[in-house]
Structure 1
Amino acid sequence: MEENKMLDYIKEVLENMPPGWVGLTTHRLDIFNENLAKTQFLSEFQNLFNDNNSDASALKELPTAYDYIRLGHPLSCILEWAIAHLNAINPERVISFSSKTAPILAVLRKNLLDHKNTQILYKGELPGFFDADILQRVYGYKFVLKKVDSLSSISNFNGSTIFISQQDEISTIDLTLPKAAEIDFFITMYTNLGSVLVVNGKQSENYISDIQHVRRRETIAMTPINCLTALKSLASQSSIAPQKSNIDSYQDETNKILVLDSIKEITGTSITPLVASSGLSIQYAIMMGLIHDALDNHKGKAIKFIVPPNCYGGTNDQARRVAACINNVEVVDLPVDGDNNMVQSLDAILNKIANEDAIPYIIAEIPTNPRVEVPNLQKLKAVLSASRKTEKGELAIDPVFILDQTFCPNVHFLGEGEILSTVRAISYASGSKFPSGGQCTAGYCVANNKAEALMDNIDTHLRLCNNEATALQTEILAKQLPSMNRRIQDAYTNTREFVTFIHDTLPGAKINFVSEELAQQGFTPSVFSLDLPTKGTTAEERESYKRALNLKLINLMITEIPHESKYCVSYGQLHGCYWTIPATSTQGTTKEGDKDYIARVSLSPNMDMELHKKVFLDFVGSI
């Protein structure tokens, strides 16, 4: 009876849900408590279920489940809640993934760090992309792999046991079977949708946050459209139907060709690009692919990832997570913003790494986030091109420059004759920004001719992690990429106009934005950061006043212009104006001393500029 009630309720929810549950990639921060991600949403959703209230207005008022779709979203939460209900367990113990490999890697990662054994049992066949040798040799994961016909054939094991099965319908896991208690993690793979991990038993509950963190940093949650498909299947108690839009294999291949050709044209490169489920998914493939290359070609040498300490928190956190798992990998801080000069910092670090005969991999954003600074590119090229010697006088290994180009994906860094064409360089971008206009998370990377040999290993790890872009993500990119450069220019025009207005209206504010000279060189971002004027007799008072002023400005904007101004983490969106504070959003896992408590503003090509100016003028009059 209770199960039927739940299934009927899900049907009603799917009919009445807000369209943003499927179509948005970022969600409101003003109704989001990060410490209660998923739980606050589900707590209030449970109340609606108890009251049998599926009204559209009630669903619209639910708090934000996660601030960014990559981490999770309303439909992934509801899918996990429903599966938990079917199995009479806490929804925290159910975690959905777009990837089929990632939940396995999540358990293996924790057990590696905890020095614990892992047994992987599976029915049928494992996916072809699951490569046990690479997982053991490159990632350092240790496990026993065993094919079984049923749970009854499970033997005792000293460590964690993962049981993998493949299904075409959402159903219960029989946790009452005699041997079920010996399974710590049930992973169910669904064709074209992803996978669902169920944490079984109290002894494994301490894995939950670590598994969630893998989903946060190395992959993505099951996508909204796939969660919708899964929930419809569950509600109707039927096999999983094809995805919305019924993208057939021919159309999917056509979309892929269009996307790859568009990326090559946009970036001015000729090497076949790689397209992933998100920017961090492609970054993870780059990191693991380069480590793989180093292990094959530079055996025994230390690997150094050089990363700005205040760059996007996902980049920072992911790099350190990789280093924590692999003995000869280390992260080296690269100061880039404010009083620090990226080129000078990099030169000193590369000299030191060369002296140690180590392998230098550099991850950097141009322009930087959130200060929107561009280094002297000729000097950067010279530093990257410099021939260096080891302590023994031998030729040092040349660096690979990994460029996060999300803020300005239209700038030609890597093509023949361009500024970074003569050094090994890889560029990547988050697809939830300009490439898709905020409609999906898929990201991509390209290489110059000097780095072409690295792309095979990057592709290997992208596939191994099952982090390739989904068919629908590819379809969205195919529609949006051709107009990207036009949207970038129009959004920059709006941003320059707004920056000029703020400068004239509030001259005491410090604005971080590209100069007119840099814009002439092609750096036309549509994001700027705003350091508001402050007051107080001590540094603490001044900082406290400024932080309160940031929130006052954002709250005024989103209250007065709710149809356009949003408190969100976004950039490159099709409409409106997004506001955030990097220290509390994009720099969430960055060290406290490196965080930026300033306002970051992102403008689109389509917004009511005059209304935004008017509300900002009201703000100035109130301080």
Structure 2
Amino acid sequence: MQDHKVQTYIKDILNQVPTDWLKLTTHRLDIYNESLAKTEFLEQLEVLYQNHTADHSELVKLPTAYDYIRLGHPLSSVLEWGIAHKHGIKPEQVISFSSQTMPVFAVLRSNKLQDKTTQILYTEDLPDFFDAETLKRVYGYSFELKQVKSSDDIPEFEGSTLFISQEHQVGQAELNPGIDFHVNVYPKLGSILIVNGNKNEAYVSDIQHVRRRESIAMTPADSFEALQRFVDIKASVELKASRASNLEKVIKVVQDITLAASDVLLGSCGLSVQYAIMMGLIDDAKTNHPGKRIKIIVPPNCYGGTNDQARRVVEAVDGVDIMDLPVDQDNDMVQSTAQVLDQTAREDAVPYIIAEIPTNPRVEVPNLEELTAALRKPRQNPEGQDAIPPVFILDQTFCPNVHFLSKEGMFSDIRTISYVSGSKFPSGGRCTAGYCVANEKADDLMPSIQKHFQLCDNEATDLQVEILADQLPSMNQRIEEAYKNTREFVNFIRKELPEAKINFVPDEVVEQGFTPSVFSLDLPTTGETDEERETYKRDLNHKLITMMISRIPESKHCVSYGQLKGSYWTIPATSTQGTTKEEDKDYIARVSISPDLDLERHKTVFSDFVKQL
């Protein structure tokens, strides 16, 4: 009876579903409560359910669910909530993935860190891309694979038992007490993992963290179809064209934009792209430089997802270390790069450098000629042999239109891979899919990276490819228009509040082709002590952001960048840098400006803010 009641309610939701739930990667950022994003949506949904209310007017009022679509979104949350009701378990025990394999790898990762083995049971054939040899050799996962007749045929095992089912019915699962984790695989949609039993609840946050950092939740469109199948409604989401034709268009546009001749690899989000790059390069190093330590070199205060994922890889993969690359504030990227590469040469290690240009959040561009000189400088190991040259992994999200990878580019003789988060300018916030390309020097690394895209089943979905095919052709024009708006707003702030410190690209950097539409703002402060001054500044940050968002409907809370409309405001230290060490955090305001916004209204509100100081 309860099952039928929930299914009827979900049918009502599907009939009234807000457009933003399907069309955006973020929802209700005007009421974004980050600390409550994991719980607030479902708590209020449950209230609506108990009141038998599924009106569109009530659904649109529900707050943000998770962040972007990596950790989740409204429709994936409803899907998990519905399946949890069906089985009488907590919603957090049901975790959807766009990938068919990443929930399995999430359990394997947790068990490796616990020195615990896993038996993976399955009834039908495993996906072709499930590569057990690579999982053991590169990732270091320990597991046994066994084919069984059904979920009732569970052999005893000292460790975790994970059962993979290809049951067509969404939400169907026989929760045998002998099964710790039940994974239903749905080709084209992804998978749904159920954490079975109270004894395994400690795994939930770790599995969700994998979804947030190395993969994504089942996408909005696919969650919508999964919900339709869950309540026995015919699927209604249709693609405009085939994946092949959309992919061909995306590849051509990306190659035209980047002037890179390599393959173009598309991932489900920017971080899944970065994960494939890292694991592909680690695989290459273990193959071509066996026994040598691998060094992942990353700025300690860069975007939290990049930093966190790099450290998570180091934590979980044998033979890999982290090295800090200080780049912002009083640090110089060129000097830091030279120092870390001298160190890796002394240790005869394999260096992989991840960096953003411009840096985030302080929007700084290093001296590129000096940086390339530091990267290409010949070095020797302790035996006097040539040290292994670095691979430069460039997060180009803030400047996807700059030609770092062309034949004539200054990085042309350095092994360089570039990647971009698609939720930013490539899609204008309409999907999360990202892409990566390589220059000629690094082109030989792309097959290994593609192998790990496929192994993790983290490639872009058909709809994501369709959206990129639609949005990418206008990207450079949107970048130009957004930069003009940003430059005008920055110049206005400088006149209105000259005491504020603004981090934005200077004219000489713009002449090099860097035209970002994001800047950071260090507001003036006062007080007798450092602590008083810092507290005052932080309060002022919040006051400014609150004024902007409350008085301008198109202004929102977010770390977003490259959106089609409006402005986005955040404090990196409490959002993007959530997992960054406290001493490396930036308690400043970061602002992103779109190509389409009411700039005069923004100026008026900022002037009112200044009058209150």
TM-score bracket, normalised by the shorter chain, equals over 0.9
Q: Which one-letter code corresponds to 1:588 in the other structure?
A: G
Q: Distance in 1 between matches of 2:186 and 2:38?
A: 23
Aligned counterpart, 2:560: 570
Aligned counterpart, 1:420: 411
Aligned counterpart, 2:272: 281
Aligned counterpart, 1:111: 111
Q: What are the within-5 Å matches in structure 2 for residues 519-598 of structure 1? A: 519-562=510-553, 564-598=554-588
Q: Quote how far apart the aligned CAs of 1:247 are.
A: 5.0
State whether structure 2 residue 461 is matched by structure 1 residue 470. Answer: yes
Q: Distance in 2 between matches of 1:586 and 1:260?
A: 29
SS of residue in 1 equivalent to 2:166: strand
Q: Distance in 2 between matches of 1:568 and 1:35?
A: 13
Q: Quote how far apart the aligned CAs of 1:37 are.
A: 3.2
CA contact (8 A) 1:27 1:66 kept: no
Q: Distance in 2 between matches of 1:364 and 1:203?
A: 40
Q: Distance in 1 between matches of 2:343 and 2:606?
A: 48
State whether structure 2 residue 236 is matched by structure 1 residue 246. Answer: no
Give 2:389's match in structure 1, choosing from 398, 404, 408.
398
CA contact (8 A) 1:530 1:598 kept: yes
Q: Quote how far apart the aligned CAs of 1:441 are.
A: 0.1
CA contact (8 A) 1:67 1:569 kept: no
CA contact (8 A) 1:317 1:589 kept: yes
Deviates more, 1:33-42 or 1:147-156: 33-42
CA deviations 1:382-415 (Å, max 9, x no partner) are 0111000011111100000000000000000011
Q: Which one-letter code corresponds to 1:589 in the other structure?
A: T
Q: Quote how far apart the aligned CAs of 1:171 are.
A: 3.6
Q: Quote how far apart the aligned CAs of 1:117 are.
A: 1.0
Aligned counterpart, 1:601: 591
State whether structure 2 residue 360 is matched by structure 1 residue 369. Answer: yes
Q: Distance in 1 between matches of 2:172 and 2:145?
A: 25
Give 2:509's match in structure 1, choosing from 501, 514, 518.
518
CA contact (8 A) 1:67 1:568 kept: no
CA deviations 1:449-506 (Å, max 9, x no partner) are 0001110100000000000000000000000101100110010000000000000110
Give 2:375's match in structure 1, choosing from 367, 384, 391.
384
Corresponding pairs, count: 613
CA contact (8 A) 2:525 2:537 kept: yes
CA contact (8 A) 2:562 2:592 kept: yes
RMSD: 1.2
Q: Distance in 1 between matches of 2:243 and 2:385?
A: 49
SS of residue in 2 equivalent to 1:66: coil
CA contact (8 A) 1:168 1:190 kept: yes
Q: Quote how far apart the aligned CAs of 1:29 are.
A: 5.1
CA deviations 1:320-372 (Å, max 9, x no partner) are 11101122100100000111000001101101110110010000000000000
SS of residue in 1 equivalent to 2:127: coil
State whether structure 2 residue 163 is matched by structure 1 residue 188. Answer: no
Q: Distance in 1 between matches of 2:280 and 2:490?
A: 40
Q: Quote how far apart the aligned CAs of 1:20 are.
A: 1.2
Q: Quote how far apart the aligned CAs of 1:255 are.
A: 0.2
TM-score normalised by structure 2 residue count: 0.98
CA contact (8 A) 2:325 2:333 kept: yes
Aligned counterpart, 2:220: 224
Q: Which one-letter code corresponds to 1:467 in the other structure?
A: N
Q: Which one-letter code corresponds to 2:127 in the other structure?
A: P
Aligned counterpart, 1:20: 20
Q: Quote how far apart the aligned CAs of 1:7 are.
A: 1.3
Aligned counterpart, 2:45: 45
Q: Distance in 2 between matches of 1:67 and 1:422?
A: 38
CA contact (8 A) 1:38 1:77 kept: no
Q: Distance in 1 between matches of 2:243 and 2:113?
A: 39
SS of residue in 2 equivalent to 1:167: coil
Q: Distance in 1 between matches of 2:6 and 2:441?
A: 57
Q: Which one-letter code corresponds to 2:397 in the other structure?
A: T
SS of residue in 2 equivalent to 1:75: helix
Q: Which one-letter code corresponds to 1:95 in the other structure?
A: I
Q: 1:67 to 1:326 in 2, by over 3 A?
A: closer
CA deviations 1:542-573 (Å, max 9, x no partner) are 111111111111111111111x1111221001
CA contact (8 A) 2:567 2:597 kept: yes
Q: Distance in 1 between matches of 2:172 and 2:445?
A: 43
Give 1:497's match in structure 2, choosing from 453, 463, 488.
488
Q: Quote how far apart the aligned CAs of 1:62 are.
A: 1.6
Q: Quote how far apart the aligned CAs of 1:172 are.
A: 3.1
SS of residue in 2 equivalent to 1:182: coil
Q: Distance in 2 between matches of 1:148 and 1:33?
A: 45
State whether structure 2 residue 288 is matched by structure 1 residue 292. Answer: no
CA contact (8 A) 1:574 1:605 kept: yes
Q: Distance in 2 between matches of 1:16 and 1:2?
A: 21
Q: Distance in 1 between matches of 2:360 and 2:480?
A: 19
CA deviations 1:53-86 (Å, max 9, x no partner) are 1122221222211132222111111000000011
For structure 2, which runs of at least 5 residues remain unmatched after alignment? Answer: none
Aligned counterpart, 2:81: 81
Q: Which one-letter code corresponds to 1:566 in the other structure?
A: K
Q: Distance in 1 between matches of 2:439 and 2:270?
A: 19
CA contact (8 A) 2:26 2:64 kept: no
CA contact (8 A) 1:505 1:617 kept: yes
For structure 1, which runs of at least 5 residues remain unmatched after alignment? Answer: none
